[in-house]
Every structure is written in structure tokens, then in C-alpha cells.
């Protein structure tokens, strides 16, 4: 009798399958979180033959697995290396087979590049306003230097290239290497100190250089950054010896390039600009020697013939009396020639000054500086336009996301609607889609109701 009034046991809670749980987690991540920017350090980079790359992003507190499908076609994939800090635009997801959280990376970029570029532009504007880039303060590079100073690393490929080219083009030139670090914290202080000491060679027991080459081989913007520091720029500007800047590759520009007396696209090109080509000089001297010898010989032959004619002619018949009139004319012509020569010399000097001023105004360095300024203005306009476009796109995405939440399936469930599915997950739209005895899954707001069709 007591059993009739005993409380009935509560039904067991509905359990999800592992697949259902993982799939729900995946949907929550992809729908609720969406695409995000993530910053971290690359580790365990694996490049598969299929073209898909796998790696981890980590910081001091955590790490997450990442997948980049068709990586070689993705923007910025070339910056991915173990130990490099990057910013990745990715979609959080779950790898269902393992239930593993991962990021599907769309594109990457090196972290901190924007900040470095801003620092570069700010220092460039400051030094330009002080006149450190002006063509008027640039010193000419000597045509035939005897000593070439080199400020760079003594272990890099750049110094070997410079020394090889100096030896090949001008073996009479004495190279003087002042080894410094060209990368890492504090390297800019070593570079500036080396330039200052090369400027006062007697004080430090260094041979006096006729021209200095300051630079290093190629690398990323972070690798070249020491040549964008103000202390290096001011050391170059204060150096009384002409300086050729040779930093990175042809596409790389640093503050040192703008301050130096001459910018070379590469260290090898700097060596070629610093000294003449010995073989070419020998060839030119040989041509001049042969030309001069031929002219001297012809002149001597003509004078000898004239002298012989005079000796046989008028000189044998009272030469002093015959030469009296020509001597007077010669003195008159000498005076007129001297006056004309002085006038022509003054005219040529004036013309040379005018040409010098014209050349300074149209010098390639000045034209490059003007074009660089114009490019800087265009870059600023582009960055502002891009920023506005990104902001408008972000707002539009936010509005669409809100609309999706309002009109999507979740809101319909909240209003009491449900969806009938067959065991394969296909939506049932008609009674014809269901056979008697077939199991039906009805999805409602807080779960799934299983029933059988009759």
C-alpha cells in the first residue's frame, strides 16, 4: 500500500554524444566568437607537402594549435618562422576528430611593424626639419681614395663582398675595418661610436680614411632597425669624412641612407661607388698615351720639316732681317691672345658656376628626396582611407551580426518554433518525407525530442 504513494524517481538527464558535444562547441566558437586577430610567437612550424602549414601560437601563459590551408597563397605566410612574433587573422574552431581547439589562419603579419614604421616616419620628419637630409650639406665622394674605412660586422657576408670588390677594382686602396655589431640591443651605440672614432683617427691610432662605408647586409625591418636610430643619424651627419650608406637591399631604406652623403643600394654597390675600376683606368690611360704619342710625333715631324725648309731658304739669306717683321707681329698677337684667353677663362668660370648650381638643383639625390616625400604623403592618405574603410566594414559586420541573431534559428526557437529532423539530420518538410515507424528528432529551444512516426 505504501508503494502506491511513494514518489516516482526523476528521469535520468538527457546525455549528449561526444560528437554532439564537440559539434556544439565548434558551432558556438564559430558563430559567437567569429574571426579575430591573435598575437603570439610561432613554434613547431611544420610545412606539409600538401601545401598546408601547421604551427602553434604561444605567449607566456598559453598556446594554441593553428592550421593554415594553402599557406603559400595566403598573405604574409613568408614571415612564418619558429620564434617570430606575429599577428594572425584567424577563425577559432574545433577539430572534431580529436576534440581539439585550433585556429584556422587566413593571413599573418609580423607583429610590431606598424609601430616601427611610425617611429621611422617620426624621426625622419624631425631630422628633415633640422636640415640633416639637405643636399647642400652632402660632401662629395673623392674620385681616387687611398684609404677606405668600413664600419660593419666582421663576420657577415657584407664585409667579404666589400673587400673582394675593393681588391678587384682598386688593389692599391687600403681598407680599414672597424668591426661592430649591426643587429640587436645596443648595436646602434657601437655603430655611432665607430663613426666618431673614424672621424678622429689620430686620436685612436687608426689610419685616416678618405671615405667611409657604413652598413650591413639585408634583413627584416627589425634586423635593420639599428640604422634607423637617431644616434647613428647624428654621428653620420657630424662626420667630416664623406660617408656612403649601404644598408640591406635595394628596396630597403633607412634613416642612415637619408643622412649619408651617398646612398648605395647594397654593400657591394657601395664598394663600387667608393673606388674607380683599375682595369678601366688602365685602358683609358693606354688610349691617352697612344693618342699623345701620335700627336707629339706628328708635331715633331712637322716642326722638323719647317726648320729644314727655313734652314735651306730664308735663314741662309740673312735670317735676322727677315725675321724682324714676324717677331713684331708675334709680340702683337701674343698680347691679343693673352687678353682673349683671360676673357674666355672668366666666361668659362662663370658658366661652370651656373652649371654647378643647375646640377645641384637637379641632382638625383634631391629628386629622390622629393619623390620620397611625395610617397610619404600618399602613404599617409592611403593609411587614413584604409582606416576609414576598415571602421565602416567593422560597423557593417556588427549590424549584420545583430540582424543574424535576431532573424536566425536561435531566435525562432526562443519564440516556440521547432525543427523536425530525420536520423541523418535532414529537415522534414512534409509527411511524405517520413515513413511509419521512422524515428524523428524534434529540435526545440533546450534540446531534442525523439519520437516515432505513426
Collect all residues with Cβ–Cβ distance below 8 Å to 5 and sequence separation of at least 6.
none
Select from 85, 223, 94 the least CA-distant residue to 156. Answer: 223
> In the prediction, which pLDDT does 199 show?
93
Residue range of the domain that includes 445: 418-452
Q: How many domains does the chain have?
A: 4
One-character DSSP codes across 232-294? HHHHHHH-SS-EEEEESSTT---HHHHHSSEE-SSHHHHHHHHS--HHHHHHHHHHHHHHHHH
Same domain flag for 137 and 22 = no
Cell (9 digits) for 433: 518525407
C-alpha angle 365-370-375 in degrees, rounded to nearest 5: 120
Same domain flag for 223 and 199 = yes
Same domain flag for 126 and 254 = yes
Same domain flag for 128 and 250 = yes
| Domain boundary, last residue among 275, 298, 332 | 275
What distance in Å separates the CA atoms of residue 105 and residue 54, rounded to the nearest whole number?
10
> In the prediction, which pLDDT does 369 show?
81
- 269: domain CATH number? 3.40.50.261
Question: pLDDT tens string for the chain (454 positions)?
Answer: 455 555 666 666 778 788 888 888 888 877 777 788 898 888 899 999 888 999 999 888 889 999 999 888 888 788 888 878 888 999 888 888 888 889 999 988 887 666 677 788 889 999 999 999 999 999 999 999 999 999 999 988 899 999 999 999 989 999 999 999 998 889 999 999 999 999 999 999 999 999 999 999 988 777 888 999 999 999 999 999 999 999 988 888 899 999 999 999 999 999 999 999 878 888 888 888 888 888 888 888 888 888 877 777 655 555 566 666 777 788 778 878 888 888 888 888 888 888 877 777 677 777 788 888 888 888 888 888 888 898 888 888 888 887 777 776 666 777 778 888 888 888 888 888 888 888 898 888 788 888 988 8
**Is residue 345 assigned to a domain?**
no
> In the prediction, which pLDDT does 16 show?
76
> In the prediction, which pLDDT does 5 show?
55
**Is residue 83 assigned to a domain?**
yes
What distance in Å separates the CA atoms of residue 300 and residue 50, rounded to the nearest whole number?
83
Task: Report yes or no: 147 and 177 within 8 Å, Cβ to Cβ.
Answer: no
| Domain boundary, last residue among 256, 275, 294 | 275
**Is residue 325 assigned to a domain?**
no
What distance in Å separates the CA atoms of residue 374 and residue 359, rounded to the nearest whole number?
21
Residue with cell 710625333: 297
C-alpha angle 33-35-41 in degrees, rounded to nearest 5: 105
What is the pTM for the complete model shown?
A: 0.47
> In the prediction, which pLDDT does 77 show?
83
**Is residue 294 assigned to a domain?**
no
**Is residue 243 assigned to a domain?**
yes
**Is residue 402 assigned to a domain?**
yes
Same domain flag for 246 and 388 = no
37 sits in which H/E element: strand 36-47
**Is residue 59 assigned to a domain?**
yes
Same domain flag for 242 and 145 = yes
Same domain flag for 392 and 440 = no
**Is residue 28 assigned to a domain?**
yes
Same domain flag for 435 and 390 = no
Same domain flag for 102 and 174 = no
> In the prediction, which pLDDT does 444 show?
83
Same domain flag for 212 and 194 = yes
| Domain boundary, last residue among 72, 89, 111 | 111
Amino acid at each position: 500500500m505504501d508503494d502506491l504513494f511513494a514518489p516516482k524517481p526523476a528521469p535520468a538527464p538527457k546525455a549528449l554524444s561526444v560528437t554532439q558535444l564537440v559539434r556544439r562547441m565548434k558551432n558556438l566558437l564559430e558563430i559567437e566568437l567569429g574571426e579575430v586577430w591573435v598575437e603570439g610567437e610561432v613554434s613547431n612550424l611544420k610545412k606539409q607537402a600538401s601545401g598546408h602549414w601547421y604551427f602553434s601560437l604561444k605567449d607566456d601563459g598559453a598556446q594554441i594549435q593553428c592550421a593554415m590551408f594553402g599557406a603559400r597563397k595566403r598573405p604574409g605566410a613568408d614571415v612564418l618562422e619558429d620564434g617570430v612574433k606575429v599577428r594572425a587573422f584567424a577563425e577559432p574552431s574545433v577539430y572534431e576528430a580529436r576534440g581539439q581547439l585550433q585556429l584556422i589562419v587566413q593571413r599573418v603579419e609580423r607583429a610590431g611593424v606598424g609601430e616601427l614604421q611610425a617611429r621611422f616616419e617620426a624621426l625622419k620628419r624631425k631630422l628633415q626639419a633640422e636640415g640633416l637630409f639637405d643636399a647642400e650639406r652632402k660632401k662629395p665622394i673623392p674620385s681616387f681614395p687611398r684609404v677606405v674605412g668600413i664600419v660593419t660586422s666582421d663576420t657577415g657576408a657584407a664585409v667579404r663582398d666589400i673587400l673582394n670588390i675593393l681588391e678587384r677594382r682598386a688593389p692599391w686602396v687600403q681598407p680599414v675595418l672597424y668591426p661592430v655589431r649591426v643587429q640587436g640591443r645596443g648595436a646602434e651605440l657601437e655603430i655611432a661610436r665607430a663613426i666618431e672614432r673614424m672621424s678622429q683617427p689620430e686620436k685612436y691610432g687608426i689610419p685616416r680614411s678618405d671615405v667611409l662605408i657604413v652598413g650591413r647586409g639585408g634583413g627584416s625591418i627589425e634586423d635593420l632597425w639599428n640604422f634607423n636610430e637617431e644616434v647613428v643619424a647624428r654621428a653620420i651627419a657630424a662626420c667630416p669624412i664623406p660617408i656612403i650608406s649601404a644598408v640591406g637591399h635595394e628596396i630597403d631604406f633607412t634613416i642612415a641612407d637619408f643622412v649619408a652623403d651617398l646612398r648605395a643600394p647594397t654593400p657591394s654597390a657601395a664598394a663600387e661607388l667608393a673606388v674607380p675600376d683599375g682595369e678601366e683606368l688602365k685602358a683609358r690611360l693606354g688610349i691617352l698615351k697612344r693618342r699623345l704619342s701620335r700627336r707629339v710625333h706628328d708635331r715633331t715631324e712637322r716642326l722638323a720639316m719647317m726648320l729644314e725648309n727655313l734652314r735651306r731658304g730664308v735663314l741662309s739669306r740673312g735670317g735676322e732681317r727677315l725675321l724682324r717683321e714676324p717677331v713684331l707681329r708675334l709680340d702683337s698677337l701674343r698680347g691679343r691672345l693673352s687678353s682673349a684667353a683671360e676673357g674666355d677663362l672668366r666666361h668659362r668660370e662663370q658658366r661652370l658656376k651656373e652649371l654647378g648650381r643647375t646640377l645641384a638643383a637637379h641632382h638625383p639625390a634631391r629628386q629622390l628626396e622629393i619623390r620620397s616625400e611625395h610617397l610619404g604623403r600618399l602613404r599617409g592618405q592611403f593609411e587614413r582611407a584604409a582606416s576609414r574603410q576598415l571602421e565602416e566594414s567593422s560597423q557593417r559586420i556588427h549590424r549584420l551580426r545583430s540582424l543574424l541573431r535576431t532573424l536566425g534559428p536561435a531566435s525562432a526557437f526562443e519564440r516556440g518554433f521547432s525543427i523536425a529532423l530525420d536520423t541523418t539530420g535532414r529537415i522534414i518538410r512534409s509527411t511524405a518525407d517520413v515513413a511509419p515507424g521512422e524515428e524523428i528528432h524534434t529540435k526545440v529551444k533546450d534540446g531534442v525530442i525523439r519520437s516515432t512516426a505513426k
